[in-house]
Structure 1
Amino acid sequence: MDAALVDRHDATKADEVFAETYALRVSPLDRGPSGLSGRLQRSHVGSITIDDIVVGVDFRFQRHPSDRILLTRIHSGVVQAAQGDRSPEVFTEGDVAAIGAVSDRPVAGTSCGRAQHYTVVPIDRRVLEAVACSSSGGSQRVELLGQAPVSVEAGRRMANAIDYATALAVTDPSASTDPLVASSLARHLAAVMLTTFPHRALHAPDDHEPMPAPLAKAIEYIEQHVDTDVTITSVAKAVHTSTRSLQLMFRRYRDCTPMQHLRDVRMLRAHADLIAADAASTSVAAVATRWGFGHSGRFAGRYRERFGETPSATLHRSPAAERRTEVGLDSIFV
């Protein structure tokens, strides 16, 4: 782990680091003379930075639209963050947030608590698009739609992925400098983000024709209801169009059917579950069944075609139990 970038008593340095590192303008809510003080401890896995932040004063922050999303795990404290004219979203202990998720909207909010403790991993939007392209086999543009996970379970998966990245940086310095490990980790974080936060992954037609609103809403609906009994009829009804029109729009703009898109999203969710799972208590069959893949052999074949390895290999490579024991608060603080 690298030396601390900010110590507990250097308020001026804290302001500078928050501005340079996160493009955040911060100011204490209390007008007293103490300023913003705390600790920011940085680790690296290749070019990925993983920051452990402790702040002891309540503060407000502002951020202009940025190419980097602040993937944030809240260990303690309360964060309220609003993008543009949207209502503030509130994140508390145990939550994860994608601060600045929506690309074209500024962020404003507050962070409060006597002992605020966060892990922050800045993620370049281009990594998300690279993962989306590799999964679709074509050019895609990813638009995140919100800063909060689509479900509690999705948030847990994201928290496990962040904890694993932290553990790797803290406990295995040799691996953290390996470019292959760093590249793999960046793609894993991006893949889990795409299954955690609401988004649209859009093909880019040559004539730049915009995606029809019903199709965008259908994609969002599928993302948010992927763990339910989704049918083409239920999707069409939700977005107020006919099943025929929906099929034509998916074929033209996504080069697939609505149900093929649903299976694709479920495959990504299964991949994220296997990354986060503990092999001692989870089986490939259980994950496949949960996401609607009743035929284990067919699931394994499609999974290997998509991700380049068997689902069993993914499950046994990064067990969640090992991740949880590798990192704790005592190993984070200096």
Structure 2
Amino acid sequence: MPVVLHATGDVDAARAFLSRHYYSNFVDVLSPWHPWQTRFDVTPSHAVTVGDLRFGTDVRIQFGELGAYHVNLPLTGSLVWRQGGHAPLRATPTTAAVFQPVGDACLEKWDGDCRLLAVKIDRGMLEDELARLLDGPVTSPLTLAPTIDLTRGRGASWLGLVRHMAADAAQPHGLMHHPMIGAGLREALVAGLLSAADHPYRERLEHPRPASAAPAAIRRVVEAMRAQPGKPFTAADLAATAGVSVRSLQQGFQRHVGMPPMAYLRHLRLERVHEDLRQGDPAIHSVTGIAYRYGFLHMGRFAAEYRARYGVPPRDTLRG
């Protein structure tokens, strides 16, 4: 999608633009006696939004829960921020601010000389990418560390990637605007954040378990479930596929996958439902139809599980 350019000295216009492309907000100008003008260059998409933002005056911006992962990377100046009940932190050109999908967020003081890159990432996309990199479901909420060191290592490399993408998006024929290449760049940005930020799965990403570590029997069952996730498997069916007893299958999955086989199947089905909802057309598809396709017959329980995993009701994902 082409970059959206916006410049204004009107606080309501600035607030409306940020609401449209990022989150609902309330802006309080801290130095109203100085003339000022915002400059927002934003490349929006459903999954990843990258913006080059500057306000031109000191402001305070309050948000509710973001519902997405978000990173602010100051290029100049500084930003004092907080989320939930945590103490305020400062983001600078050496330290990025990382926001979670849950917890009210506030930019306590966005300095007038602070120009920043603002990266918004769909919660489902980040968690699905983590599951893909781990080659298995994400079984607990993904909480990223609140800061990233931008001076060295993968933090510095990720900053370079974001800067490149923002600069490329500003070009009318940049690669970010190509349907296939742009999608690949956005996926690289998401995977790069998982590598640059600290989180509970970081060690597993740094030292992945080789596929050969799981016995052939376990791999056969995983492949069968991935090939037909909507099939009404029973524990006995899966044990027969593995060629072992139900008890041995349970123990093998717990040892090599980290959960029972039926729990793995349920996580896999949720992932497939989520992907189909993201790609679906609400004029043609329904949440119930997609859920039934993958074996979810009790819609109340399904909706509760989906919301616990992805932070939104399934109908919101289908509506985009």
Q: Structure 1 counterpart of 2:26, which letter?
A: R
Shift of 1:176: 2.4
Shift of 1:3: 5.0
Output the CA distance in 2 between the equivalents of 1:149 and 1:134: 23
SS in 2 for 1:20: helix
SS in 2 for 1:75: strand
Give the structure 2 partner of residue 143 of structure 1: 142
Output the CA distance in 2 between the equivalents of 1:37 and 1:196: 33
The more displaced of 39-48 and 13-22 is 39-48
Output the CA distance in 1 between the equivalents of 2:12 and 2:36: 8
Report 1:166-315 matches (<5 A).
166-171=166-171, 173=173, 175-201=175-201, 222=203, 252=254, 255=257
Q: Structure 1 counterpart of 2:89, which letter?
A: E
- Could you say which structure has the larger radius of gyration? 2
Shift of 1:189: 0.9
Output the CA distance in 2 between the equivalents of 1:223 and 1:41: 36
Q: Does 1:77 align with 2:77?
A: yes
SS in 2 for 1:145: coil
Q: Structure 1 counterpart of 2:135, which letter?
A: G
Shift of 1:48: 3.9
Give the structure 1 partner of residue 93 of structure 2: 93
**Selected match of 2:113 from 105, 112, 115:** 115
Output the CA distance in 2 between the equivalents of 1:5 and 1:111: 21
The one-character-per-residue Cα deviations of 1:223-246 (angstroms, maximum 9, x if unpaired) are 89x79xxxxxxxxxxxxxxxxxxx
Distance of aligned partners of 1:83 and 1:253 in 2 relative to their CA distance in 1, 3 Å threshold: farther
Output the CA distance in 1 between the equivalents of 2:79 and 2:28: 14
Shift of 1:191: 0.9
Contact 1:2 1:43 in 2 (8 A): yes
Output the CA distance in 1 between the equivalents of 2:43 and 2:170: 7
The one-character-per-residue Cα deviations of 1:124-162 (angstroms, maximum 9, x if unpaired) are 111111211211222225512332026743321220120
Q: Structure 2 counterpart of 1:137, which letter?
A: D
Contact 1:144 1:197 in 2 (8 A): no
Length-normalised TM-score, structure 2: 0.56
Output the CA distance in 1 between the equivalents of 2:35 and 2:124: 35
Unaligned runs of 5+ in 2: 208-252, 259-320
Distance of aligned partners of 1:75 and 1:138 in 2 relative to their CA distance in 1, 3 Å threshold: same
Give the structure 2 partner of residue 26 of structure 1: 27
Output the CA distance in 1 between the equivalents of 2:91 and 2:56: 17
Distance of aligned partners of 1:223 and 1:95 in 2 relative to their CA distance in 1, 3 Å threshold: farther
Shift of 1:91: 0.9
Contact 1:95 1:155 in 2 (8 A): no
When the two chains are superposed, the root-mean-square deviation of aligned CA atoms in Å is 3.5
Give the structure 2 partner of residue 153 of structure 1: 153
Distance of aligned partners of 1:179 and 1:108 in 2 relative to their CA distance in 1, 3 Å threshold: same
Contact 2:94 2:149 in 1 (8 A): no
Unaligned runs of 5+ in 1: 202-218, 228-250, 257-334
The one-character-per-residue Cα deviations of 1:15-40 (angstroms, maximum 9, x if unpaired) are 2212333223221223x366974111
Output the CA distance in 2 between the equivalents of 1:200 and 1:97: 18
SS in 2 for 1:66: coil
SS in 2 for 1:189: helix
Q: Structure 2 counterpart of 1:163, which letter?
A: R
The one-character-per-residue Cα deviations of 1:176-215 (angstroms, maximum 9, x if unpaired) are 23222122112111111111222234xxxxxxxxxxxxxx
Output the CA distance in 1 between the equivalents of 2:35 and 2:15: 9
Q: Structure 2 counterpart of 1:60, which letter?
A: R
Contact 1:133 1:139 in 2 (8 A): yes
**Selected match of 2:122 from 108, 124, 128:** 124
Q: Structure 1 counterpart of 2:146, which letter?
A: Q
Output the CA distance in 2 between the equivalents of 1:60 and 1:159: 25
SS in 1 for 2:146: coil
Contact 1:77 1:111 in 2 (8 A): no
Shift of 1:92: 1.0
Contact 1:28 1:35 in 2 (8 A): no
Distance of aligned partners of 1:70 and 1:36 in 2 relative to their CA distance in 1, 3 Å threshold: farther
SS in 1 for 2:200: strand
Distance of aligned partners of 1:187 and 1:29 in 2 relative to their CA distance in 1, 3 Å threshold: same
Q: Taking every aligned residue pair, what percent have the same amino acid on both sides?
A: 17
The one-character-per-residue Cα deviations of 1:298-326 (angstroms, maximum 9, x if unpaired) are xxxxxxxxxxxxxxxxxxxxxxxxxxxxx
Distance of aligned partners of 1:165 and 1:47 in 2 relative to their CA distance in 1, 3 Å threshold: same
Output the CA distance in 1 between the equivalents of 2:103 and 2:47: 26
Output the CA distance in 2 between the equivalents of 1:73 and 1:104: 20
Shift of 1:123: 0.9
SS in 2 for 1:71: strand
Give the structure 1 partner of residue 307 of structure 2: none
Give the structure 2 partner of residue 264 of structure 1: none
Shift of 1:44: 5.4
Q: Structure 1 counterpart of 2:7, which letter?
A: V
Give the structure 1 partner of residue 52 of structure 2: 52
Distance of aligned partners of 1:56 and 1:170 in 2 relative to their CA distance in 1, 3 Å threshold: closer
